[in-house]
Structure 1
């Protein structure tokens, strides 16, 4: 990442400030819409009030976590979350790139994350990246980190606690029709590799309501887990501690997903049935 890009992380151009004001005005006015969907939110007490924390979450095929998590954090502690995005998003055309920048998004890199942490900004990352979005049959709520531990290393370097944040609901909006090892799945991987050079970005064949691609109405369930301390103990090798923090984060996130799936299973409002509104499961 160039010096110019680093400078723009904390001091974006004037037109980005203008777009940011518009985005924040919209965000301040969507409370009634969010309340209509009544998301289940738990663990807000686990958010450090000083904003010095790294949110580590799971991607879903609907992407609702990228909007809901920053919205909930801003409403709770009054601070803007800074998402670390896939490098490819940095090449997106305007106005999409402008809106992403106005929302605080930064192309994921050790330098970019370090700059945000040096300014005590709340940061959010999805270690699975884009490969975690396309879910074939049977892959719902599975983490695909492929050994990635860079988030743990940068958090350790800056003394940032990690708050795992699990979201359930986004992988139920669409239903995968075939497994990854089905011939359709293998064909999709080949097409993905030819177009992008990566087979792990294959998109599955899915359906929404009935045979259509209209999203299935689903309630979202969000849980912020207890912060994971990243201060390295004495006499622990740096690489060993990075691996330990990464494993603890993954285990906490997977546990959160499991707990939310159980809550969702017994919730009569999980499919946003208005008749079950009054009986919706409440957060603790």
Structure 2
């Protein structure tokens, strides 16, 4: 709508208001998102990955924990390839696999890449968790899925320690467990993609595991049921993670494209490369612990 003003000679001069290019209201964006969900106007890949749901809902829920509770700092992000496939290999800890979620936020927000995590069988035996995992880009930790994702140019994440790492006692914190037979290395060789050793410091302190309810774990079919200073003593309140300070560092990439694809079937080569990756992560962990200092803020 126009308004008017007066020139020096008293004439009326029309003044046209500048057009408004304001962004749509948050409510409008939310309604548009819901409309797309209801009508099925969104994309899901062959693995069940739903990028829009992951970006607009799941990561939005996790991001405040990343920034304000754990105060995560991601270091040497430049070591993550900006395009093409790569294998992120990280240590696993924390009693509950929250480190996987924090790594996913770091990859998305800091590196600008979607992380396709390989999960244990147990994840895909649980109805709700299985569905959510698929929707957010995770898939079963098997050779076929890993190979297909890497050859598509995706960033694949793996925690070779598995439950041995995430469920280890607090007394063994930041000591890497066995990496298995190196299947992840063989997949990287077959796809000719770099391996990025990655260290996560901070997860070990969120649920300090001091014991294990083995009988209950066997009854429930779980790898362990932890005892921490606050769980099960405080009940559900004991499930709130302690606000430790986190650092995530992406190490120097280890190239695999110099090997022939047949090298993936050489057990000695795969073992040596697996051991090399493990040593690189352990060294990063040792350095990061010193760099971080105290795990908790002074007021805690």
Please indicate the TM-score interval, normalised by the length of the shorter structure.
0.7 to 0.9
Q: Distance in 1 between matches of 2:197 and 2:181?
A: 15
Q: State the Cα distance separating 1:205 from its structure 2 match.
A: 2.2
Instruction: Name which one, 1 or 2, has greater alpha-carbon Rg.
Output: 2
Show the counterpart of 2:17: none
Show the counterpart of 2:89: 56
Show the counterpart of 1:138: 171
Q: Distance in 1 between matches of 2:83 and 2:291?
A: 30
Alignment of 1:6-85 (within 5 A): 10-12=45-47, 17=50, 20-26=51-57, 27=59, 34-37=66-69, 38-60=71-93, 61-85=95-119
Show the counterpart of 2:29: none
Q: State the Cα distance separating 1:203 from its structure 2 match.
A: 3.8
SS at match of 1:166: strand
Structure 1 pair 31–176 and aligned structure 2 pair: CA distance change class (3 A): closer
Structure 1 pair 11–261 and aligned structure 2 pair: CA distance change class (3 A): same
Question: Residue by residue, what CA displacement relative to the aligned partner does 1:71-112 show, whole Å, maximum 9, x if unpaired?
Answer: 111123432110000022222213x32221111001111001
Question: Residue by residue, what CA displacement relative to the aligned partner does 1:10-60 show, whole Å, maximum 9, x if unpaired?
Answer: 4256xx64xx42331132576565432431221101111114110001111
Structure 2 unaligned segments of length 5 or more: list them.
1-43
Q: Distance in 2 between matches of 1:233 and 1:207?
A: 48
Q: State the Cα distance separating 1:131 from its structure 2 match.
A: 2.4
Alignment of 1:1-284 (within 5 A): 10-12=45-47, 17=50, 20-26=51-57, 27=59, 34-37=66-69, 38-60=71-93, 61-94=95-128, 96-145=129-178, 147-178=180-211, 188=214, 192=217, 196=221, 201-208=223-230, 212=234, 213=238, 214-232=240-258, 238-265=266-293, 267=294, 270-273=295-298
SS at match of 2:200: strand
Structure 1 pair 144–30 and aligned structure 2 pair: CA distance change class (3 A): closer
Q: Distance in 1 between matches of 2:131 and 2:78?
A: 32
Q: Distance in 2 between matches of 1:62 and 1:202?
A: 11
Show the counterpart of 2:37: none
Aligned length in residues: 249
Structure 1 pair 107–43 and aligned structure 2 pair: CA distance change class (3 A): same
Q: State the Cα distance separating 1:125 from its structure 2 match.
A: 0.4
Structure 1 pair 25–230 and aligned structure 2 pair: CA distance change class (3 A): same
Show the counterpart of 1:182: none
User: CA RMSD, aligned part only?
Assistant: 3.1
Q: Distance in 2 between matches of 1:208 and 1:217?
A: 14
Structure 1 pair 165–218 and aligned structure 2 pair: CA distance change class (3 A): same
Q: Is the 8 A contact 2:198 2:249 kept in 1?
A: yes
Structure 1 unaligned segments of length 5 or more: list them.
1-8, 179-184, 276-284
Structure 1 pair 205–28 and aligned structure 2 pair: CA distance change class (3 A): closer
